[in-house]
Amino acid sequence: MALIGRRLAPDAALSTLPLALVPVATTLMTIPAAQFMRRRGRRPGFALAALIGIAGATVAASAVWLENFWLLCGGGLLIGAVNGFATYYRFAAGEVAPPEFRTRAISLVMAGGVVAAFLGSTLSTQTKDLVAGHPFVGSFACITVLQGLILLIVSRTQLPAPTPKSDADDGRSLGTIAHSPTFVLAVLGAVASWGLMSLLMNATPLSMERHHHAFGDTASVIQWHVLGMYVPSFFTGSLIRRFGERPLLLTGVVCIAAAAWINTGGTQLLTFMTGLTVLGVGWNFLFVSCTSLITATYRTEGEKARVQSANDFLIFATMIVSTFSAGPLEERIGWYALNQAALGVAAVVGGALLLLMWRERRTGHRG
């Protein structure tokens, strides 16, 4: 979308606006999506997301065909709104799975990122020039078809219907739940995982270009990073079942800190590749563990909607800030200082998580 934006934008400074609107729309949609699914259920929510995805891809394809930049921005908003619903797939997997399989179900949903990474790249390349004279119209048309398939699959999937609402369903307020050290532990870990990962991942291509690495090398580094993010999901659930969420989320923080430390070791291709791969593994361990942990912090349907939407809103808001900060920070303080700062933040987060675990143990409060 950034490449299309560069071609259609009335001003070069606006080139990335359509792409930037995607995470903004995702963040703004997380709370309404949670409330909609609380009232109507997961299946109608995911079906609505697929319909929005069809509309978004159609609008984006039309924007490219008509060479209309602002229409492309509208498509970016709709596509981002889909992700506001899609982020709840991992929670839905944990809800329908037996208790002993919950963490593995969450982990396997995350593992779908491996398929998405390779399938998305292949399909976008193969369909880019499908419509002669209008590059990327075919790519968006392909997204329309994929969203249609999602709609078909979701409509035939058995998901629990929402229970009739009663006053008891509202449960505790978010402020009351937030006093739980477990809630703070899960949210802080999830926010840190996305914030640090987004910061370093988005700064990496800029630093590699600054140090004269070829685009193909940069693509390989990002590919290894994506593999690091999602391949561990095939066994993260088993690790959580064996060792528990808390040891694994601490391992994730250590991996992220190690990635920042590796990145300070030089600007060679191997250094970038190793650092970003370890960063992906750390993100996976920390985020999946925190996702599993936060499911233990709510008791009723009302609490579930509030906790899940607040958690994801904070995650995506942090991701937006870190993504937009990556470029200016890499430009002004440089790659080494950026990673040193990330290492410091990881250390502070690790200390805070240990303190919260100590509070859990001291109060005997784990939920």
Which domains are delineated in the chain? 1-156 (1.20.1250.20), 172-367 (1.20.1250.20)
Ranges of residues in the chain whose predicted pLDDT is under 70: 1-3, 6, 12-13, 16, 117, 121, 163-169, 364-367
Give the H or E element holding residue 114.
helix 102-127
d(CA 212, CA 180): 48
219 CB contacts (<8 Å, ≥6 apart)? none
3-state helix, strand, coil in the chain (%, to 5): 85, 0, 15
Q: How many distinct helices (H) and strands (E) make up the chain? A: 16, 0
Q: Are the CB atoms for 336 and 221 separated by under 8 Å? A: no
Specify burial of residue 175 (Cβ count, 10 A radius: 0-12, 13-18, 19+).
exposed
pLDDT of residue 167: 47
Q: Is the backbone of residue 246 left (phi > 0), alpha (psi -120 to 50) or beta?
A: alpha
> Which positions ≥6 away from 248 have C-beta within 8 Å?
236, 239, 240, 285, 288, 289
pLDDT value of residue 366:
56
Would you state the pLDDT for residue 169? 57
Q: What pLDDT score does 141 carry?
A: 92
Alpha carbons within 13 angstroms on the beta-carbon side of residue 226 total 16
Coil vs helix vs strand at 149: helix
The C-alpha torsion from 157 through 159 and 161 to 162, rounded to 10°, is -140
Question: Phi/psi at 244 (nearest 5 deg)?
Answer: 100, 160
The CA–CA distances, whole Å, from 53 to 5, 85, 92, 109, 150 equal: 19, 11, 19, 19, 10
Tokens 């095939």 — which residue?
Answer: 234
